[in-house]
Structure 1
Amino acid sequence: MPPSGRVRPPAFSICTHPGPRNPVYGVTEDFPAGSATYAGKRHAVIWRGTPESAVDLHGLVTQTLGTEFTVSVIHAATTYGDSTHFVGYALSQSGIMQNVAVMWTYTARDFAAWAQAKFTPEELADSSLSGPTAVYSQDGLPNLVKFALGLEPKQAITSGLPAVAVTPAEWTYTYSRPSGVLNVAYEVEISTDLVNWTTEGVVHEMTGATINDQSWSARYPLDSTANIFFRLKITRTDS
């Protein structure tokens, strides 16, 4: 097993390798490297820190030679703008130069970091534009909701929103959210009159996950009521 905090690909011979890079949100980095010998001819990226899941990260970064791959920065201790130490190796048959392109898809883990990534300095100074309760676009969704659901604050969202369905036994409310969001509580509440809301009787659970996203479902017995309303309640826990 590799030491904690490091994902180690299979052994290979490296002639040249780039140093750590400071990831910039949405910017592609090209990693030039000298020739290397590796039987499987794959690229790899090593995290010189503490990844949340070495297994998941390793699955992301071992792909076929000659393709681009994406690295998502998801370290819990990282905040926007920190230097995160990835090292990219371009592997090839001996004597052949290769480049590896890495897209830094930096995952902001709390609302403040997310806002810094999404808004200009001028917008950050105006809470009516960048604050958690502000609605930047014309879709009626506050910034906190968009952060919690992984939506873009400056786009009017018409898809990717929670959905309600009916099965033979249950009402279901499903939605997706980013993996590892910090300082946010999610609750699904139900009501029969749009006045009184409760979580009683609601089964709220994760139904699937990737390294970037989670799928969640809230279920409520169909025979409990003829009509029902759902709402997703999102609350900051750091304020």
Structure 2
Amino acid sequence: MRNLSLLAALLLMMTGVCPLRALNWDFQTVRDAYFTAVARSVTVGTDGRVHVVYSALPEFGNEAELDHAVRTPATSWVVTTLASIPSSNLYGSAAVKCDSFQHPYVIYRQPSGGVQFRRHTGTAWASAVNFAGSGGSSQTLAVAIDSANDLHLGYTVTGGTLRYAFWDRSASSISYRDEVHDFTYVFEQVSLLLHPTSERPRMTYSRNGHLTYAVRGSTVTSAWTSEIVRSNSVSANSIAGGSMAFKGTTAYASYYDPANQSVYLASDSGNPWARELVGSFDMESVSSISPATRLFFDSAERPYIVWRRSGGDLYVSSKRGSSWKTALIAHTSEADFGAAMHADRLYVAYATPDRTTVRLATAGVSPAAEFGGWAESVFTPTQLADPLVSGVEADPDLDGVANLLEFAFNMPPLNAGVQTMAPGTGTQGLPASTLEIGAGGAAVIRIEFLRRRATVNSGLTYQAEFSSSMTSGTWTPAGGTTTVTPINDDWERVVVLDAPPAGSQRRFVRVRVTQEL
């Protein structure tokens, strides 16, 4: 056996600033083997079950179908066909939401143009309920469910009328219906949300070149009042892709302005609304049955806008500090897609470029998984304001381990005492390195360390490197095997074996931790 000496070293390395890293997306096939498929909507219940609604034309068949697919992290997708539709209605509107019992409601356009919904009772799908009478032409729709599990719907009908309907779940038919706007204009890109405290419905919609915001009065039968979010006199219905979200109790809207090919974020901070430029993009022609943008806020109130670019690519734009950055999600050829955010995780449903497969892309955006969110959870406001205490290179407990490494290896930054993780069982601590007997009786260096899983998007990369001299330029990645074992949703255990070159008498190992800011 070669007599190798061993040194375990840690190297902290900072990279350049990148306000939005490329998120680590997980891709799942919801359903395939279709002739044509169009993703419509996605939602996630508080129980973690993911619901996707899409329309599809089977590979062998003349009639299209509206499908609901559901899965949990531990199960495969279960698909139910809710309605048969003519192939000409393949691009009809549809949406899915869950009530407080985690039962899905699917709202969709009928071939006749009216609107129906079906809900799951917990044991089976109930019969359809009509929202809009037959003969109407619902070009677009939006839905919300309140704390009493009553349904609110915004939809358009022939002639350019935007309507609102309300369904008390104890009633056998629609409880109330009225007109938000009744003009000879085309209403498109309807978004509907309930105020987070009063639950009064709000809508945004495109009307005659304007992005408009409407608010319902204090009761379900009160009148609607409206104001212009953004005007555009270039052409009718030119402000498009409106989507709404609340940050606290303030309404925000994302939209696309084709006059300058730009995406904007507007806030209801006065009249007129304040707006900021997200970016200038060559967007796809906006579908009249689906907004071109989807707006969300994470638990740290950071905005995320999912949108589709001309050429068939889905992107997400997000803001860090004062800068907006954009990253690719996936390629697609359909203008329609579904998007949702739940528990600081993005969910995007779309059809593949060949239109044969419905897929779901998911990515974690948790602020707590990033250094800044972690720092907020372990330091006081006074400590956070002092970079000598809470900064990435600071060592407030004077144990020789910088905060970034404490974060990387699940260690307490305010509790002195350097510790090495227990091999095989440890869930915190610095990497553990040992000498082992390898094949042929040769000595092999084994290093084990904790790593934040890529799916939580911590912004960290870990690299085990080896050297025979520790001089610059001699550090190389491991030439042996690497074994990764998940511990939980956030952490995994990594074991790396070295393959030292022949004749080595000394061998050094380090784990390099790199942070993207």
What's the TM-score, normalizing by structure 2?
Answer: 0.28
Q: Show the 5 A alignment for 1:168-187.
A: 168-169=437-438, 170-179=444-453, 180-187=456-463
The DSSP-based 3-state class of the residue aligned with 1:167 is strand
Q: Contact between 1:188 and 1:204, CA under 8 Å: does it hold in 2?
A: no
Aligned match for 1:190, one of 466, 471, 475: 466
- Asked if 1:113 is matched to 2:369, the reply is no
C-alpha displacement at 1:201, in angstroms?
Answer: 4.4
* Rounded Cα–Cα distance in structure 2 between residues aligned with 1:167 and 1:159: 18
SS in 2 for 1:135: coil
How many residue pairs get aligned? The number is 165
**Superposed displacement of residue 50, structure 1:** 6.1
Shift of residue 181, structure 1, vs aligned partner? 4.6
**1:154 is matched with which residue?**
414
TM alignment of 1:63-82, pairs within 5 A:
76-79=364-367
The worse-fitting range, judged by mean Cα deviation, of 139-148 and 203-212 is: 203-212
**One-letter identity of the residue aligned with 2:490:** N
Distance 1:147 1:217, change over 3 A: same
Which structure's residues are more often helix, by fraction? Answer: 1
Amino acid at match of 2:395: V
8 Å Cα contact 1:4/1:50 also seen in 2: no
Q: Aligned equivalents of 2:148 and 2:461: distance in 1?
A: 40
Corresponding position: 1:208 with 2:247: no
Matched residues, percent identical? 21
One-letter amino acid of the counterpart of residue 136, structure 1: P
Pick the structure with greater CA Rg. 2
Letter in 2 for 1:173: I
Counterpart residue identity of residue 484, structure 2? T
Provide the residue aligned with 1:5 in structure 2: 44
- TM-score when normalising by structure 1: 0.56
AA in 1 matched with 2:446: T
| Structure 1 residue 192, shift from structure 2 partner | 2.1
Matches within 5 A, 1:1-239: 5-6=44-45, 7-8=48-49, 49=342, 76-79=364-367, 108-156=368-416, 157-160=418-421, 161-169=430-438, 170-179=444-453, 180-196=456-472, 197-203=474-480, 205-209=482-486, 210-222=488-500, 224=502, 225-238=504-517
Letter in 2 for 1:168: I
Q: Which amino acid aligns with 1:166?
A: L
The superposition leaves residues 166-185 of structure 1 with CA deviations (integer Å, 9 ceiling, x where unpaired) of 23223111111233352112
Amino acid at match of 1:152: P
| Preserved contact between residue 206 and residue 216 of structure 1 (Cα < 8 Å) | yes
Contact kept? 2:366, 2:457, Cα under 8 Å: no
Distance in 1 separating the partners of 2:469 and 2:459: 30
Question: C-alpha distance in 1, partners of 2:468/2:398?
Answer: 28
The 1:201/1:148 distance shift into structure 2, 3 A limit, reads closer
Q: Counterpart of 1:214 in structure 2: which amino acid?
A: E
Cα distance per residue 1:73-94 (max 9 Å; x no partner): xx72232xxxxxxxxxxxxxxx
Q: Which residue identity is paired with 2:445? A: W
The letter for the 1-side match of 2:470 is L
Provide the aligned C-alpha RMSD in A.
3.8
User: 1:50 and 1:139, CA in 2 relative to 1: closer, same or farther beyond 3 A?
Assistant: closer
Q: Distance in 2 between matches of 1:111 and 1:129?
A: 14
User: SS at 1:221's partner residue?
Assistant: coil
State the one-letter code of the partner of 2:409: L
Contact 2:460 2:515 in 1 (8 A): yes
Task: Tell whether the 8 Å contact from 1:115 to 1:130 is kept in structure 2 after alignment.
Answer: yes
Q: Deviations over 1:45-70 (max 9, x none)?
A: xxx8267699xxxxxxxxxxxxxxxx
Q: State the secondary structure of the residue aligned to 2:44.
A: coil
Contact 1:189 1:199 in 2 (8 A): yes
